Chains A and B, each alone.
Chain A
Amino acid sequence: AQRVTQPEKLLSVFKGAPVELKCNYSYSGSPELFWYVQYSRQRLQLLLRHISRESIKGFTADLNKGETSFHLKKPFAQEEDSAMYYCALSEGGGSNYKLTFGKGTLLTVNP
């Protein structure tokens, strides 16, 4: 069965510092990986998906199949980046397209 691991429940950095939120997965097939973000009192929003290979709000994430990782990175953190971040995996394709979520990492960017 697929599994998504986010080893850090909490991550605190200072404004302007680099940030990396770790995500590892286990899945035997070819998964699709996502990062979702939930700002305070807001709904879950899609931040990135690996097939898009784009940078959103300065964040990037590269799928490393050898290390089964999809870490989220930003070179210079901003206070408005403070939020809960969830890594998620989909089996890809198909009409159902289920997501398996990690437990989430709460990022706090201090001034």
Chain B
Amino acid sequence: GAVVSQHPSWVICKSGTSVKIECRSLDFQATTMFWYRQFPKQSLMLMATSNEGSKATYEQGVEKDKFLINHASLTLSTLTVTSAHPEDSSFYICSARSVRGYNQPQHFGDGTRLSIL
């Protein structure tokens, strides 16, 4: 149980285009989803916290107009990298917490490797 699916797993696109990444909780409902960024050989850095039906909370230094997050349902959150540039190339990972129970842990997706040419 507690499976989180991310799509696509890998995307290559030209500079200036926008890219949408989906994060779905397949067998549970998630009030809260999280988006992380991971640079090569570095740790996961939290970008934003996404709550169903409300605006995302961004971490300091993360441009909210650059990284648009939508959490329209209890099973889906999307991250759109707008007008992507080579410096946005990275590994993006989402996680989700179940609405049921207290202190539920985060369950992670497989990640999306984004390469901007």
Provide a sorted-by-A list of 16 A–B residue pairs whose CB atoms are within 8 angstroms: A32-B103, A36-B108, A43-B110, A43-B111, A46-B106, A86-B44, A93-B103, A95-B31, A95-B51, A96-B49, A96-B57, A97-B106, A98-B34, A99-B34, A99-B95, A101-B44
A44 interface residue, CB < 8 Å from B?
Answer: yes
Which label, helix, strand, loop or mixed, suits the secondary structure of the A interface? loop
CB distance from A69 to the nearest CB of B (A): 18
Q: Which 8 A-B pairs have the closest CB atoms?
A: A44-B108, A103-B43, A101-B43, A43-B110, A101-B44, A46-B105, A96-B49, A43-B108
B93 interface residue, CB < 8 Å from A?
Answer: yes
User: Is the interface on chain A under 10, 10 to 19, 20 to 34, or 35 or more residues?
Assistant: 20 to 34
| Residues of chain A within 8 A of B107, CB atoms compared | 46
A26 interface residue, CB < 8 Å from B?
Answer: no
Chain B residues in contact with chain A, CB under 8 A? 4, 31-32, 34, 42-46, 49, 51, 57, 93, 95, 97, 103-111
CB distance from B97 to the nearest CB of A (A): 6
Interchain pairs with CB closer than 8 A, number: 50
CA distance A97 to B57 in the complex (A): 12
Please, which residue of chain B has its CB at the minimum distance from the CB of A42?
A: B110
Chain A residues in contact with chain B, CB under 8 A? 32, 34, 36, 42-46, 49, 51, 86, 92-93, 95-104
CB distance from A36 to the nearest CB of B (A): 8
CB distance from A13 to the nearest CB of B (A): 21
CA distance A35 to B44 in the complex (A): 13
CB distance from B27 to the nearest CB of A (A): 15
| Given A97-B97, A98-B34, residue A86 in contact with residue B106 (CB < 8 A) | no
| Residues of chain A within 8 A of B106, CB atoms compared | 46, 97, 99
| Residues of chain A within 8 A of B32, CB atoms compared | 95-97
Please, which residue of chain B has its CB at the minimum distance from the CB of A104?
A: B43
CA distance A96 to B46 in the complex (A): 12
Choose among A34, A42, A95, A96 the residue that contacts B105 (Cβ–Cβ < 8 A).
A34
| Residues of chain B within 8 A of A97, CB atoms compared | 32, 97, 103-104, 106
- In this complex, the member of B42, B44, B95, B107 whose beta carbon has the largest number of chain A beta carbons within 10 angstroms is B44
